[in-house]
Chain A
């Protein structure tokens, strides 16, 4: 837990970021940082600005003012695709998987590898997709036996692992996870928490949005609390408690 040492340059820095929707200030002057191998939890009530913040980081929204720095360099994302190309991947609540396709096909969706059958005919390289799926999922400590099965055959936690696996395969350095445990049963939640620990051990940065303080305290290194678009506080998990976080969230 040496994550706030000034020596380690943050992977991602957000400086004085604001976002207005007309007269509504959804986010005001927000500053935060994520270091390699660090899990930062974003907490706050509904409408506190968590979603606006991650959408600004992942290129969905253009910030009204302020800047985003990736490994010390200012970046500007015109689209989520540009953010993804630079290694910022968002895992959405609804997982964004094509249920009828295999793990490999989901990992490669939109950038499928091809090979030449009989030396001329271009065909999908399913063997390569399956191989990559196997390796990537093993990296997340998730061993699948049926690589050709559609992902609809897997459980919620396993599907979450597939979505994370896709990000890992494409070498995402920063993973933004929006309520990754919300729709899952307790054993599955534990599995996802274990996955996040894996990502951390691999030196990736994770931004983790959750309503569940128990999950936050189980996995995060730091917590950033938002209230009505402004930062209400930032604490190291080891230095804080449930009570304090709740107080920061509701104000008072």
Chain B
């Protein structure tokens, strides 16, 4: 059933691209898909939502949700900018970038750890706990940024954000590697296996001797880290730290996970599906601009796609449920 859900998202992505291809050939005789510039733009577009969505996939499979990811990303973006600016004179360009990136990603795990502590130890529902952290991270990020964007004066950082190797942007490479690691973590390790079990039946997981509290703590730290990496890459791309960097991306991350075939009730979902989900959103957003549709249609289309995905998913589950009781 999970495989069907994954394939559904990829199939949908294929149809979507086909649709845009036909539209662009009919209306202005050009290609959509076979233009490398389009592909690259879509991939760059998908980087931040995809990074958030990989962390969100883990959280949603466990039966939770992390609403604070967007502003943790903003916080990391601002911290990266400040730390790199501070460290560049002393460390030199390259080392300062490495140092700033690490510090920002580590700082991002702090709100993640607080989320995990609230959910695991104080039994706060994830929706409420991370909503609180949404506010806290937002406030702290804007305070640190002084209410404005923080420009970074470091050419190595700009090169990381905009440079390419063999025609492939660095940030896409970093994201691709990270996604593969997350796929491994979810599909091939005890951590991933326990995550599925907790999402399906937390009682069963506890009785099997899994340390639920410790797992949840690490889970939300992981999702904070994903947001942190997204924030650092954002700052690299724009050579600036912005508290609002991830503001519109939180819902996209949840949407990508759901379109990718996960259930918001927990227990199902894959990174493979989430990648398709993130690209569905990126293709819709970029594609609609490409064919000159007013940008507000993006919101409408993504919204409709989310609802359709959930409806198809429910229908499929009902079908599977019927088979189970035979």
List the interface of chain A (C-beta within 8 A of B): 80-81, 84, 92, 94-101, 105, 109-112, 114, 117, 121-124, 150, 152-155
Minimum distance in angstroms from B173 CB to a CB of chain A: 20
Q: B188 CB to closest chain A CB, in angstroms?
A: 4
Q: Which residues of B contact A111 (CB under 8 A)?
A: 208-209
A114 partner residues in chain B, CB cutoff 8 A = 190
Q: Which of B193, B207, B267, B320 contacts A112 (CB 8 A)?
A: B193
- Establish whether residues A152 and B209, one from each chain, have CB atoms under 8 Å apart when the complex forms: no
Kindly state the separation between the CA atoms of A105 and B193 in the bound complex, as whole angstroms: 8
Residues of B within 8 A of A97 (CB): 201, 204
A96 closest partner in B (C-beta): B204
A110–B210 contact, CB under 8 A? Answer: yes
Task: Quote the shortest CB–CB distance from B256 to chain A (angstroms).
Answer: 20
Looking at the assembled complex, report how far the CB atom of B255 sits from the nearest CB atom of chain A, in whole angstroms: 22
Decide if B324 is an interface residue (CB 8 Å cutoff): yes
CB–CB A98/B201 < 8 A = yes
B1-32, CB under 8 A of A: which get 1 and which 0? 11000000000000000000000000000000
**CA separation between A92 and B326, bound complex, in Å?**
23
User: 21 A-B contacts, Cβ less than 8 Å apart?
Assistant: A81-B209, A94-B203, A96-B207, A98-B197, A98-B200, A98-B204, A99-B200, A100-B196, A109-B194, A109-B197, A109-B204, A109-B205, A109-B208, A110-B210, A112-B193, A122-B189, A123-B189, A124-B189, A150-B2, A152-B320, A155-B324
Contact A109 B1 (CB under 8 A): no
- Residues on B with beta carbons closer than 8 Å to the beta carbon of A112: 190, 193
Alpha-carbon distance between A111 and B193 when the two chains are bound, in angstroms: 11
Q: Which A residues are in CB contact (< 8 Å) with B189?
A: 122-124
Q: Which residues of B sit under 8 angstroms from A124, Cβ to Cβ? A: 188-190, 193
Contact with A along B165-185 (1 / 0, CB 8 A): 000000000000000000010
For the complex, give the distance between the alpha carbons of A100 and B326 in Å.
18
Kindly list chain B residues whose C-beta atoms are within 8 Å of the C-beta of A152: 320, 324
Q: In chain A, what residue has the closest Cβ to B326?
A: A155
Chain A residues within an 8 Å CB radius of B190: 112, 114, 124
Q: What CA separation (Å) do A200 and B325 show in the bound complex?
A: 29
Q: Does B115 contact A (CB under 8 A)?
A: no
- Are A110 and B323 in contact (CB-based, < 8 A)? no
Q: Separation in Å of the A16 CB from the closest CB of chain B?
A: 29
Question: In the complex, what residues of A have CB within 8 A of residue B210's CB?
Answer: 109-110
Cα–Cα distance between A9 and B64 once the two chains are bound (Å): 50
Contact A110 B194 (CB under 8 A): yes
Report yes or no: A110 in contact with B205, Cβ–Cβ below 8 A.
yes
Q: How far is the CA of A99 from the CA of B2 in the complex (A)?
A: 12
Does B116 make an interface contact (CB < 8 A)?
no
The CB with the most chain B CB atoms within 10 A, among A81, A95, A112, A152, is that of: A152
Question: Does the CB pair A100–B199 fall under 8 Å?
Answer: yes
CB distance from B234 to the nearest CB of A (A): 30
In the complex, which of the residues B196, B199, B324 contacts A153, with contact meaning CB atoms closer than 8 Å? B324
Residues of B within 8 A of A123 (CB): 184, 188-189
Minimum CB–CB distance from B181 to chain A (whole Å) comes to 11
Which residues of the partner chain A approach B154 to less than 8 Å between Cβ atoms? none
Closest to B192 in A: A124
Task: Please give the distance in Å from A157's CB to the nearest CB on chain B.
Answer: 12
A99 CA to B197 CA, complexed, in Å: 8
| A100 to B320 CA separation, bound complex (whole angstroms) | 12
Q: In the docked arrangement, what's the CA distance between A48 and B199, Å?
A: 35
Q: Does the CB pair A150–B1 fall under 8 Å? A: yes
| B268 within 8 Å of A (CB atoms) | yes
Contact assessment for B197 and A153 in the assembled complex, using a CB-CB cutoff below 8 Å = no
> Which A-chain residue is minimally distant from B190 (CB atoms)?
A112
A-facing residues in B267-326 (Cβ within 8 Å)? 267-268, 320, 323-326
Bound CA–CA A69/B102 (angstroms): 56
| Nearest neighbor of B201 in chain A, beta-carbon distance | A98
A-side contacts of B204, CB under 8 Å:
95-98, 109
How far, in Å, is A152 (CB) from chain B's closest CB?
6
Question: Which residues does chain B contribute within 8 Å of A105, judged by CB atoms?
Answer: 193, 197
